[in-house]
Structure formats: structure tokens, C-alpha cells
């Protein structure tokens, strides 16, 4: 699990939902959304720490597991992860998803 301590630019918080494992993002109203575009963005270290404190509480409350910060780019209202890893995590595998129960 990557827990970057030295992030500098804008950051958001992601985690997995405890019960079903779904990738989620912390929103500005302290909810968890499956869409990265709903992420709250911290512009500085203090805000990032505050977001992580909220996430830590959610982990203690068994809503999510393994929260961490990651770097995002913000253009207008669009929030997108900067690294290849986090974009794949946000969007899902880049390989064609199998049609469930299809042959061949």
C-alpha cells in the first residue's frame, strides 16, 4: 500500500469500502463516493491532514479500509489522478472487462 508522505500538490483521499471492497473517494461532505470526480481536494498539507483525520475515523467506524492520500490534477471542476496507478484504480482495469457469462 502506497502511503505517500511527501506529496506536494493537490491531494485527495481514497480507500476501499470495508464490506465489499469497492474503491471510494472522500467527498467534501465527509461521505464516500465511488467517483473520483466527487473527491474533496486538499491544496495544502494542513487540509490534507484534516481529510486523513476524517478518513481515519471512517476506518475506525468500519466504513472503509486502508485510506491514503494521492495526488490529483484539478481543471475547473474536474478532479483526476496524476499517476497511472491512481487513474487505473479510479477507472478500473484497462483490459476489456469480460462480459459475465459470455463464451469465447
Interface with another protein (CB under 8 A) = 1, 16, 18-23, 59, 61-62, 65-66, 82-85, 88-89, 92-95, 97-104
Nearer to another protein, 34 or 43 (CB): 34
In the complex, least distance from residue 15 CB atom to another protein, rounded to whole angstroms: 10
Cα–Cα distance for residue pair 92/104, rounded to 1 Å: 22
User: What does the alpha-carbon distance between residue 69 and residue 71 come to, in Å, rounded to a whole number?
Assistant: 7
For another protein, the closer of residues 50 and 73 by Cβ is 73
- Going from the C-alpha of 89 to that of each of 23, 65, 93, the distances in angstroms are 7, 15, 7
The DSSP symbol for 97 reads P
CB of 41 to another protein, least distance (A): 18
Amino acid at each position: 500500500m502506497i502511503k505517500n508522505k511527501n506529496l506536494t500538490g493537490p491531494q485527495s483521499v481514497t480507500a476501499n469500502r470495508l464490506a465489499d471492497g469497492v474503491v471510494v473517494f472522500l467527498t467534501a461532505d465527509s461521505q464516500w463516493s465511488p467517483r473520483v470526480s466527487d473527491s474533496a481536494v486538499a491544496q495544502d498539507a494542513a487540509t490534507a491532514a484534516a481529510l486523513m483525520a476524517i478518513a481515519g475515523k471512517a476506518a475506525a467506524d468500519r466504513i472503509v479500509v486502508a485510506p491514503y492520500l494521492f495526488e490529483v490534477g484539478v481543471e475547473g471542476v474536474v478532479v483526476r489522478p496524476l499517476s497511472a496507478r491512481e487513474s487505473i484504480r479510479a477507472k478500473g482495469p484497462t483490459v476489456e472487462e469480460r462480459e459475465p457469462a459470455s463464451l469465447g
